[in-house]
Structure 1
């Protein structure tokens, strides 16, 4: 693991997720950009001294010095955004599999370079758009594929948080780097949570955005990046959409919601009630589908770990991404094609698409023309 040391929120989440199915062992790391903190963090987690490093470069050099069969197989990158590209590219070029947090990188040029490197080296590269790991999101995806709601006409995806409704910068580590253009990139809320919303809509519908019209606002005085975004979407094939992403929505915690409206019905899923999917057929009673039920799709069933009625949520969905990466690596080691329902995770190409989405939203918001092709 690179990043994710003491006081880091997402690194702890990654470690919980990768441990849930006993498919991974954390054996080496460079857990902070501050060498002393990195080493202390590694000791906290029980890393052996020889594999506990003060920098990611030292980690890479040491792993490459080992016989191939003794090296780590996967590197999890959980640093702030501005460090993703250099670290990910170095490990991919060295032949390691990678799991990287989102958004993938800062620019589409960096994203394209990663896509090319992964293709050239033949490595596994997962991006932790974790909401696609929820069983009922996978159920919604399968229902769309099977035509349960007919031809998609409109998509509405919203991600509202309220934690940045006040100026937390200057004392809150998470707020500090997420609102810093040098570390977060060209976008604030639209990059941090809007990228999740875009990926959720793409995962479920399979639609590609053709063009968009965006407004980005910076509501809190003195903040340097957007904290509120409203985006109109046009999809290839004629469907329309709306994407909202806000971190100044007072009273909201982690309110991610997707509604997909088709010619024969609609689907409605909310992350804060993740074990339920509402299916409203056009000419039949409204149905409440629940996680773990035997009549769900095979994709949804495989994403479940415990019986119906026992809630599964954020960590389990996150773990499904890691389980998909593990299945893909295992299949490659065995020289066989991976079962797509087992090796179900967002790839580097999904991360690259997310970067292009962020760039296009910013370009649209800064344009007089507004409708901007993607």
Structure 2
């Protein structure tokens, strides 16, 4: 295209963990420059954040509304090409809606919205606008997750019959929200997090990973949720049974009170020809087991990889790639698609999570909460 894409950011100001992650990830492949931002609902903090990021004073805005309308008035060669939304859940919908309706493409953190109603409306807005929308389910960006998906798609495992997925953390095993912990305080607050606690924060990642790798939709779930933290109202633990659309069975275990766990996201896929196992804390290994063959471990840049896995392996074999690189893959694939669109070209099957995945995530949260309230009855996605 002859130039880098220009990114604006909403949220992610001074002291933000996830904003810094997004900025680093967007920069890794050299396709994107941060050119503007509304980094906080506090105007003074937003302007100060812009200065620390070396943005010009006239591109650091006091609100997302000001940014979107001001950028729209700039010449096409200067204005942002897309906006990245890295705010808490309750501040996803309005900025995304305004950006799309004013001609800007969107990258948004997950879960996509605060409510299912917002998710469905946002899907319609994306379709009407004709703009691109990416959801940062970053774990789909790992090379070995791409390999697993390709192996399932190409029939290497045969018919999928059983799935086990877990996402275990322990950082909320004590009441850290009462100590001023910023990340905890909004995640346990239904006004800012929505009706799901751990469900929205990590459960949606597990749900998305299952559907991404297998290519199968979860048809219905039976959920038993727990609230262990003092004075909490949102779930911080849960066990779920899954029924897949092809008849396969599955289990999901999520927790943020599993003392000692760090970021233990892991998945096992069992077919009638073979099985796969992947762990996020050891992301460069994909373990495969077969009926009449020895166990085989796939690694990035190794032998027998599908193109989808090789395409996101950036460095030589034996050099670990991790969280930031997986995040960067979402940005890279989104940027590749957007550049093609701007050049009048078409990419038939862009590989990044979209608004439809965001709707699935919200359906998952609502179905799990409904099931739990009804004594873990089987509940379909609505």
Q: Normalised by the shorter chain, which TM-score bucket?
A: over 0.9
Question: Matched residues in 2 for 1:99 and 1:255: separation?
Answer: 26
Aligned to 2:357: 350
Aligned to 1:360: 367
1:369 Cα deviation after fit: 6.3
Question: Matched residues in 2 for 1:281 and 1:339: separation?
Answer: 33
1:6 corresponds, among 4, 14, 17, to 14
2:216 matched to 1:207? yes
What is the CA deviation profile of residues 174-199 of structure 1, one whole-angstrom value per residue up to 9, with x for unaligned ones? 00011111100101001100000000
2:157 corresponds, among 117, 126, 149, to 149
1:71 Cα deviation after fit: 1.3
Aligned to 1:130: 138
What is the CA deviation profile of residues 332-373 of structure 1, one whole-angstrom value per residue up to 9, with x for unaligned ones? 111111264xx4211111111111111111111111461111
**Unaligned residue ranges in structure 2 (runs of 5+):** 1-8
Structure 1 residue ranges, 4+ long, deviating more than 3 angstroms after superposition: none
Mapping 1:103-182, distance limit 5 Å:
103-170=111-178, 171-182=180-191
- Please, what is the CA RMSD of the aligned residues? 1.0
Change (3 A) 1:278 1:5: same
1:67 Cα deviation after fit: 2.4
Mapping 1:234-313, distance limit 5 Å:
234-313=243-322
Give the match's secondary structure for 1:278: strand
Aligned to 2:53: 45
2:234 corresponds, among 225, 236, 242, to 225
**Unaligned residue ranges in structure 1 (runs of 5+):** none
Q: TM-score, normalised by structure 1?
A: 0.98
Give the match's secondary structure for 2:286: strand
Give the match's secondary structure for 2:329: helix
Asked whether the equivalents of residues 128 and 318 of structure 1 are also in contact (C-alpha less than 8 Å), the reply is yes
| Worse overlay, 361-370 or 84-93 | 361-370
Question: Matched residues in 1 for 2:308 and 2:120: separation?
Answer: 30
Q: TM-score, normalised by structure 2?
A: 0.96
Question: Matched residues in 2 for 1:52 and 1:76: separation?
Answer: 14
Asked whether the equivalents of residues 224 and 375 of structure 2 are also in contact (C-alpha less than 8 Å), the reply is no
Asked whether the equivalents of residues 81 and 106 of structure 1 are also in contact (C-alpha less than 8 Å), the reply is yes
Question: Matched residues in 1 for 2:79 and 2:121: separation?
Answer: 25
What is the CA deviation profile of residues 45-96 of structure 1, one whole-angstrom value per residue up to 9, with x for unaligned ones? 0111111011111111211222233210010000000010011011011110
2:324 corresponds, among 311, 315, 321, to 315
Aligned to 2:39: 31
Question: Matched residues in 2 for 1:98 and 1:106: separation?
Answer: 17
Asked whether the equivalents of residues 167 and 223 of structure 1 are also in contact (C-alpha less than 8 Å), the reply is no
1:326 corresponds, among 296, 321, 335, to 335
Change (3 A) 1:17 1:369: closer
Question: Matched residues in 1 for 2:357 and 2:310: separation?
Answer: 24
What is the CA deviation profile of residues 79-135 of structure 1, one whole-angstrom value per residue up to 9, with x for unaligned ones? 000010011011011110100000000222211111111111111100000000000
Aligned to 2:201: 192
Count of aligned pairs: 372
Question: Matched residues in 2 for 1:128 and 1:354: separation?
Answer: 12
Question: Matched residues in 2 for 1:291 and 1:252: separation?
Answer: 26
